[in-house]
Amino acid sequence: MANVAIEKVRKSYGAVDVLHEVSVDIADGEFVVLVGPSGCGKSTLLRMIAGLEDISGGTISIAGRVVNDLPPKQRDISMVFQNYALYPHMTVGENMAFSMTLAGAPAGEKQKRVAEAAQILGLTPLLDRYPRQLSGGQRQRVAMGRSIVRNPQVFLFDEPLSNLDAKLRGAMRAEIKSLHRRLATTIVYVTHDQVEAMTMADRIVVMNGGHIEQIGRPLDLYDNPQSTFVAGFIGSPSMNLLNGRFDTLGARDIFRLDDGTALPMPAGTSKQGSTKGVYGIRPDYLKLSTGEVGFPAKIVVVEPLGSETQITATVGDQTVVILSHDRVSVEPDETIFLAPQVERVCLFDEAGRRISRSDA
Amino acid sequence: MRLVESRLTLTVSYALLALFAFIALFPIALLVLNSLKPAAQIVQNPLALPETIRWENFTNAWNHARFSTTFLNSFIITGTTIVLVCTTSSLTAYVIARRKIKSWKILTFYLLATTTAPIQLYIFPLYFGFAKLGLINNIFGVALIYTALYSPFAVMLLRTYFIAVPKELEEAAIVDGATHWQVFWRVMLPIVSPGILTVALIIGLNSWNEFLIAITFLQKQENVTAVIAFFLLSGQYSSDWGEIMAAALIIVIPVVALFVFMQKRFIEGMAGGSVKG
Ligand SMILES: Nc1ncnc2c1ncn2[C@@H]1O[C@H](COP(=O)(O)OP(=O)(O)OP(=O)(O)O)[C@@H](O)[C@H]1O
Ligand SMILES: [Mg+2]
């Protein structure tokens, strides 16, 4: 077990910079998820930790040892690939034992460790099969088994669930999480699926275009996104981000949308005057008001989902999504009034950075 | 309606397959038939069934073509060529497929270009070169020429097999602690083994049947190959056609046997199941 320290790590392919001075500190036994849109450099960072990619600048240390120039086998890590990368000519058992075979481990020891790992993952009846005789989920488990057998200091996962169907993905998510609880080994897990990130991570690293946008615990990111990017990326349906400017109405500070609609501001927000900004409110925190309280919006679509109803509406030319946990009887083209829960509002400046509240 | 249609397609495809099978098997059938007849009968009617079966054709063929030595020569040349081509080409193909060297493009182009150059173009310079080196009448020298001749083809074929192997397999092996050599030997090679088998079969067949180089570079009686010995039969013994047919059959048998034996492994795919599917 070990911590992983990533300090000002850069990666460039020729003249193209893919990662710009990325720093993350991963504690011993922590489950960290790297999440971000396609092409943001998640896999590249993971592969640099694994030693499959050169480090252009900065340092990566595992268990206090700088590993920049160490080959993968000396880093004491294991990796699960998106396409599993099982050796097709070896049985499940041989696949799992391969690292020990290479290291020249005695047969008894090998068998014991493979049996243990197979037991944990429910692979015992499949040990003599070949990868082509397994289902997708089973292959996924074998790939994990291969990692477990090595008993590494750090597990690295690169989108291990993206080839599975939704149901299996849910099951494997739970399985990986319970595996982590059981082994308590440091895990770095890459995904572009924010649901996976939210459900599995101790801490999430949100990446965008080779930068780290924010690092934090799942609910911290959900409640306190530090940028419009994180606000839009974490949570589904994503946060409503409305463009407008900071204004006053009489003695009150308000946020005025481009079409003139006035939205209430949380107390103690320092930004004032007529500067532009972004008003962020999650769909759950926009309430349909019974009277004419709040601001008017015109309904476009109503989607009843059973436990909740998702309503899409327009305010001026901007779209807002409302998630109502009560049954509501509204129709498209109807005008409704929306009251935001003011203490849940997140304000961002023109560049998309969070404006902190002065009283907080 | 569908059933009728599919039956029609089935009939047509079987008819076509039967035709191809006939085209392929007819010469062999003729060979078998005539190898059992005395020469006079063959000249009369090559298609007639033998009146008397003449087994002596085979013993005569074996003795006159000195197959006990010439077969051994052919086996050694073919075997050496297969081993040399398979080892060098698989290594080269791996390096080119994975672009592990900067000049992989030039090398690929060079190999492609050499596959188009005919051997007749440089057989004389090669002969004098080999003569200087004292490699005339040396069956290993001939195997060396075959290796050079067939390598580009083998490399290009194996390259496609290596390219088809997902890069992650190599990386998984590296993370598992394999050295570059172990990655090649324990992961890549078993996966591309159907390709190597294909190469071995094609190269083996070509070296077994090769004529021009063998007759140019092997001039002593005791080191000619089976095919050359067979060729020499026709002039030497005023063409006893029964005997020649028998000799031809003897030469063809190992090749046919090999193909029949290898067919299953030949078709068997190995790459399935390594990645998602
Ligand atoms: N060999 C390479 N040469 C040049 N650019 C590369 C190379 N490999 C990756 N890149 C670039 O690096 C960036 C990050 O790639 P990376 O594979 O890390 O993305 P990712 O975040 O894992 O995306 P995905 O979710 O699609 O897997 C991409 O913009 C990609 O185009
Ligand atoms: Mg990726």
Exposure of B18 by Cβ count < 10 A (0-12 exposed, 13-18 middle, 19+ buried)?
exposed
- Is B3 part of any domain? no
| Residue of B200, B192, B189 lying closest to B262 (CA atoms) | B200
CB contacts of A150 in chain B (<8 Å) are 176
Average pLDDT score over residue span B164-171:
92
- Is B145 part of any domain? yes
Higher pLDDT, B27 or B267: B27
A9: which 2 tokens?
A: 């790590």
Contacts of A238 (CB under 8 A, 6+ apart): A231, A232
Scanning B177-206 for CB atoms below 8 A from A yields: 177-178, 182, 186-187, 190-191, 193
- Is B60 part of any domain? no
- Number of domains comprising chain B: 1
| Per-residue CA distances from B51 to A22, B40, B119 (Å) | 90, 11, 45
- Is B125 part of any domain? yes
B169: which 2 tokens?
A: 């397999």
Helical H segments across chain A, by residue range: 42-50, 92-102, 107-121, 136-150, 166-183, 194-200, 218-223, 228-233
DSSP, collapsed to helix, strand or coil, labels residue B5 as helix
Task: Check residue A258 and give its pLDDT.
Answer: 86
Q: pLDDT by residue (tens digit) across B73-85?
A: 999 999 999 999 9
Higher pLDDT, A358 or B125: B125
Residue B273 confidence class, pLDDT cut points 50, 70, 90: very low
Neighbours of ion ligand 2 (CB under 5 A): A 43
A209: which 2 tokens?
A: 């275009």
Structural domain for B117, as ranges: 67-232
Task: Check residue B2 and give its pLDDT.
Answer: 55
A319: part of which helix (H) or strand (E)? Answer: strand A318-324
Residue B272 confidence class, pLDDT cut points 50, 70, 90: very low
Instruction: List chain A residues with pLDDT less than 50.
Output: 359-360
> Does the distance separating the beta carbons of B276 and A139 come in below 8 Å?
yes
Contacts of B277 (CB under 8 A, 6+ apart): A132, A136
Query: In this model, does residue B277 exceed pLDDT 50?
Result: no
Task: Check residue A16 and give its pLDDT.
Answer: 92
Query: In this model, does residue B270 exceed pLDDT 60?
Result: no
Q: What is the DSSP letter of A342?
A: G
Task: Check residue B232 and give its pLDDT.
Answer: 87
Residue B271 confidence class, pLDDT cut points 50, 70, 90: very low
- Is B18 part of any domain? no
Lowest mean pLDDT segment, chosen from A335-349, B1-15, B114-128:
B1-15
Residue B269 confidence class, pLDDT cut points 50, 70, 90: very low
State yes or no: ipTM above 0.90.
no
| Residue of A39, A346, A35 lying closest to A212 (CA atoms) | A35
CB contacts of A91 in chain B (<8 Å) are none
Q: pLDDT by residue (tens digit) across A55-107?
A: 999 999 999 999 999 999 899 999 999 889 999 999 999 999 999 999 999 99
A192: which 2 tokens?
A: 């572009």
pTM above 0.80, yes or no: yes
- Is B248 part of any domain? no
Report the relative pairing of strands A240-249 and A252-257 from DSSP bridges.
Answer: antiparallel
**Can you tell me the distance from the alpha carbon of A340 to that of A348, in angstroms, rounded to the nearest whole number?**
16
Higher pLDDT, A360 or B33: B33
- For ligand 1, atom 12, the nearest C-alpha belongs to A18
**Can you tell me the distance from the alpha carbon of B204 to that of B256, in angstroms, rounded to the nearest whole number?**
12
**Can you tell me the distance from the alpha carbon of A183 to that of A29, in angstroms, rounded to the nearest whole number?**
9
**Can you tell me the distance from the alpha carbon of B25 to that of A309, in angstroms, rounded to the nearest whole number?**
74
Query: In this model, does residue B98 exceed pLDDT 80?
Result: yes
Nearest to B175 among A72, A86, A103 (CB): A72
Specify whether the CB–CB gap between A262 and A339 falls below 8 A.
no
Specify whether the CB–CB gap between A247 and A274 falls below 8 A.
yes
Residue B274 confidence class, pLDDT cut points 50, 70, 90: very low
**Can you tell me the distance from the alpha carbon of B175 to that of A185, in angstroms, rounded to the nearest whole number?**
17
Q: Which atom of ligand 1 is nearest to the CA of A45?
A: 18
Q: Is B168 on the interface with A (CB under 8 A)?
A: yes
Residues with CB under 6 A from ligand 1: A 13, 16, 18, 36, 38-44, 192
B104: part of which helix (H) or strand (E)? Answer: helix B104-116
Nearest ligand (C-alpha, residue A56): 1
Q: Is A162 on the interface with B (CB under 8 A)?
A: no
Q: Is A91 on the interface with B (CB under 8 A)?
A: no
Q: DSSP characters for B154-204?
A: HHHHHHHHHHHS-HHHHHHHHHTT--HHHIIIIIIHHHTHHHHHHHHHHHH
Neighbouring C-alpha atoms within 13 Å toward the C-beta of B264: 1
CB contacts of B186 in chain A (<8 Å) are 102
Q: Is B88 on the interface with A (CB under 8 A)?
A: no
**Can you tell me the distance from the alpha carbon of B10 to that of B22, in angstroms, rounded to the nearest whole number?**
18
Taken in order of first residue, the domains within chain A and their CATH numbers are 4-232 (3.40.50.300), 244-349 (2.40.50.140)
CB contacts of B166 in chain A (<8 Å) are 83, 85
Contacts of A106 (CB under 8 A, 6+ apart): none
Q: What is the CATH number of the domain that holds B142?
A: 1.10.3720.10
A178: which 2 tokens?
A: 């319970």
| Per-residue CA distances from A307 to A237, A288, A304, A328 (Å) | 15, 16, 8, 11
Residue B3 confidence class, pLDDT cut points 50, 70, 90: low
Exposure of B114 by Cβ count < 10 A (0-12 exposed, 13-18 middle, 19+ buried)?
middle
CB contacts of B270 in chain A (<8 Å) are 88-89
**Can you tell me the distance from the alpha carbon of A306 to that of A202, in angstroms, rounded to the nearest whole number?**
30
Nearest ligand (C-alpha, residue A192): 1
DSSP, collapsed to helix, strand or coil, labels residue A290 as coil
> Does the distance separating the beta carbons of B169 and A85 come in below 8 Å?
yes
* Site to substitute for ligand 1 among A34, A43, A191, most atoms within 8 A of C-beta: A43
- Is B242 part of any domain? no
Exposure of B230 by Cβ count < 10 A (0-12 exposed, 13-18 middle, 19+ buried)?
buried
Residue type, B163: I
| Per-residue CA distances from B81 to B40, B88, B139, B239 (Å) | 40, 11, 10, 32
Q: What is the dihedral of CA B63, B64, B65, B67, to 10 degrees?
A: 10
- Is B86 part of any domain? yes
Q: To which residue do tokens 């079966």 refer?
A: B53
Q: Is A71 on the interface with B (CB under 8 A)?
A: yes
Average pLDDT score over residue span B22-45:
87
